[in-house]
Chains A and B, each alone.
Chain A
Amino acid sequence: MDANVPRTTPRKSHTFDDYTLSEIRRAATTGIYDIRGAGAKRKLPTFDDLLFLGASISRYPLEGYREKCGTNVMLGSRFAKKPIEIKIPITIAGMSFGSLSAQAKEALGRGATIAGTSTTTGDGGMTVEERGHSHILVYQYLPSRYGMNPDDLRKADAIEVVVGQGAKPGGGGMLLGQKISDRVAQMRCLPKGIDQRSACRHPDWTGPDDLEIKIHELREITDWEKPIYVKVGGARPYYDTALAVKSGADVVVVDGMQGGTAATQEVFIEHVGQPTLACVRPAVQALQELGMHRKVQLIISGGIKSGADVAKALALGADAVSIGTAALVALGDNDLALEAEYQALGTTAGAYDDWHEGRDPAGITTQDPELARRLDPVLAGRRLSNYLKVMTLEAQTIARACGKSHVHNLEPEDLVALTVEAAAMAQVPLAGTNWIPGKNGNS
């Protein structure tokens, strides 16, 4: 062709973008779906699409740092003889020993304890380190029942029956052979080095009627002392919340699709479930219709990253939030200081999500003793507590600006949305209008 003839700029397909092409090549080479950790990475409507209005003539603010703005939360007051009180409206989500190192679990316990909140076990049982360093520990009751025993059940401060999680509603846990060390294998009663796939469904109950009986059994075993949470993935938040309440839950945890996981299929993370923002109002609506709002507490999780997110979730009606991925980042996950090591693993700081491979240079998502030793639980715990305190201060800053003496006094009327999608999901007006999609006589 004549070199003087103008040519169009080479154009890549929007459909077959670089990532898609790389995934096709990877699948063709390996014959296995892509597995990774963390939560949804696609662009989703989030709490960032909401704004607080702040004070005005009709609403006067509270003095920052001077006037009291409460942050404490009571959890489990519906049925439990011993409800728990956390000082801040942020808890640490369930993450297993196995997916995380013992040092990381200890750090989570230390950080949560300093900040006055709870941490949660995971799909692998309760470790001595975790119990010992967690003032308030929630013990997860999962389909696999790995490490489940009545002694640890009684040592727990609350029990969380896990029905699903946001990263994979309808899917079970996954822990690949690289991370099944002797200790993990012993705790889970499994052969060392196998690719362990947890059950997705509880082995001895199905449906809400059975769940009610299961919760009753757990209460009987623990003499009705422990608060019982029910955790669901953000699939059908209205119905799941209503059914959890019907089943006798003290607390409902709704985990949106940005919620992380130690490992599962990429296709599951990115294509199943609903954004966290879309889960809050249906869950709150279910509680309100049942007359149980603030009686059964609602914890929202999935991509919570700042005090602004905390304040927005509470304003929409949640009692508390839970963090997982953000807590790991606070410990040191994906730290820029480790960039050279991430590069050696074929990734970069901020994108590392091959948590299932057990080669985490930060010593967090690994069972390699050498790598795990890199994480100082005391220092990492302090970092987490700092982060939790900052988030709380941020939420208080917003609450005071809105004239609230407790973060629970934030309300949907304090919010507007930047996008039509966020307005519809959060059921607050689009900024500059009084229009709530689906409300105000509009459809």
Chain B
Amino acid sequence: MIEFDLDKDGVSALNQRLHSLPKDTNERSWRVKNPMGQHAIACGLTLPLIIEIEGHVGFYCGGMNKEADIIINGHAGPGVAENMMSGSVRVRGNASQSAGATGNGGLLVIEGDASSRCGISMKGIDIVVGGSVGHMSAFMAQRGNLVVCGDAGEALGDSIYEARLYVRGKVESLGADCIEKEMGDEHRKELGLLLERAAFKARPEDFRRYGSARKLYNFNVDHADQY
């Protein structure tokens, strides 16, 4: 395992070194020390690396990640794993707002709570949150799955498209065009796999499913009060 001290060499040096690795590199396993809440750590990665960050990170850690597996042994600032394409990001602590925003793929696991707008405009990413999520989570969520083992704040899934939401606890309120949907066997199976990938011991049977009513997909004057 290669150790990199951000206090000594800085974020840009880390990112540029990770970006410059050849595809067949043997330097696949990295430990990043002293993150101290700095921004854009390990963003834009393109290889199947394993990056373990020892501490709290600022904005956009793991942004636009492709293929790498990133573990944050601490809390994460806003936009962790934003626009992730593939690979995984695991936050051992809590995550600030907009976790997994616009993510296209991969798996984001937040072992603690996630703040507001978790999964905003998600486009295929799978997000599993061990705790609760804040208001406006899954706003305009287009594709992918958001699993919340705790509670969800106000306006969950507002203006949602085709993303699937699973919540075990209480939902403060649902946003425009988001409704509770039937939980079928295929959904329990899918949810079980997501929980397994996240290594969470929760039972799919305890969750409820939410998704789009699809009433706002095309303008209808009779639904104008929801716009």
Contacts and interface: CB of A to CB of B under 8 A. Distances in A.
Interface of A: 30-32, 144-145, 148-150, 153, 177, 188-191, 193-195, 199, 203-205, 210, 213-214, 216-217, 220-224
B121 A203 contact: yes
B39 interface: yes
A191 B43 contact: no
B124 interface: yes
B88 interface: no
B120 interface: yes
B12 A203 contact: no
Interface stretch (B28-36, B186-194, B215-223): B215-223
A150 B15 contact: no
A414 B218 CA distance: 52
Given A189-B123, A199-B121, A204-B60, A150 B46 contact: yes
B60 A214 contact: yes
A217 B78 CA distance: 12
B79 A205 contact: yes
Given A189-B143, A216-B39, A203 B98 contact: yes
Contact of A220 (B43, B82, B121): B43
B142 A190 contact: yes
B40 A204 contact: no
A267 B142 CA distance: 28
B19 interface: yes
B218 A144 contact: no
Contacts of A195: 217-219
A32 B59 contact: no
A222 B44 contact: yes
A224 B39 contact: no
A221 B117 contact: no
B208 to A, nearest CB: 23
A203 B43 contact: no
B140 interface: yes
B221 A32 contact: yes
A221 B65 CA distance: 10
A244 B90 CA distance: 33
A86 B12 CA distance: 29
B11 interface: yes
B89 interface: no
Interface size class of B (residues with CB under 8 A): 35 or more
A213 B60 contact: yes
B121 A191 contact: no
B123 A221 contact: no
Interface in B1-53: 11-12, 15-16, 19, 39-40, 43-44, 46
A204 B95 CA distance: 13
B102 interface: yes
Contact of B59 (A210, A221, A224): A210
Contact of A203 (B63, B120, B162, B221): B120
Contacts of A191: 161-162, 217
Interface string B116-159: 01001101100000000000000110110000000000000000
Interface string B81-120: 0110100000000000110011010000000000001001
Listed from nearest, the 6 A-B pairs whose CB atoms lie closest are A31-B221, A221-B44, A204-B79, A204-B98, A145-B102, A217-B40
B58 interface: yes
Given A145-B83, A150-B85, 19 more contacts: A30-B221, A32-B219, A32-B221, A145-B102, A150-B44, A150-B66, A189-B123, A189-B143, A194-B161, A194-B217, A195-B219, A203-B82, A203-B139, A204-B59, A205-B59, A210-B78, A213-B39, A213-B59, A221-B64
A2 B11 CA distance: 92
B104 A189 contact: yes
B6 to A, nearest CB: 13
B94 to A, nearest CB: 16
The residue among B66, B82, B98, B121 with the most chain A CB atoms within 10 A of its own CB is B121
A200 to B, nearest CB: 11
Nearest to B59: A213
24 contacts: A32-B219, A32-B221, A145-B102, A145-B121, A148-B83, A150-B44, A150-B46, A177-B217, A189-B123, A191-B217, A194-B218, A195-B219, A203-B139, A204-B98, A204-B117, A213-B40, A216-B40, A217-B60, A220-B12, A220-B15, A220-B40, A220-B43, A223-B15, A223-B16
A175 B97 CA distance: 28
A199 B140 contact: yes
Contacts of A216: 39-40
Given A153-B64, A203-B117, A189 B218 contact: no
A194, A203, A204, A221: residue with the most chain B Cβ atoms closer than 10 Å: A204
B222 to A, nearest CB: 8
A153 B221 CA distance: 39
B122 to A, nearest CB: 9
Contacts of A210: 59, 78
A149 B83 contact: yes
B104 to A, nearest CB: 7
A263 B217 CA distance: 17
A365 B142 CA distance: 25
Nearest to B163: A189
B7 to A, nearest CB: 17
A222 B15 CA distance: 10
A220 B79 CA distance: 15
Given A210-B78, A221-B63, A144 B83 contact: no
Contact of B19 (A30, A32, A145, A223): A223
A195 B120 CA distance: 19
B85 A149 contact: yes
Contacts of A205: 59, 78-79
B39 A189 contact: no
A213 B117 CA distance: 18
B124 A189 contact: yes
B64 A150 contact: yes
A177 B218 CA distance: 7
A150 B44 CA distance: 7
B105 to A, nearest CB: 10
B219 A204 contact: no
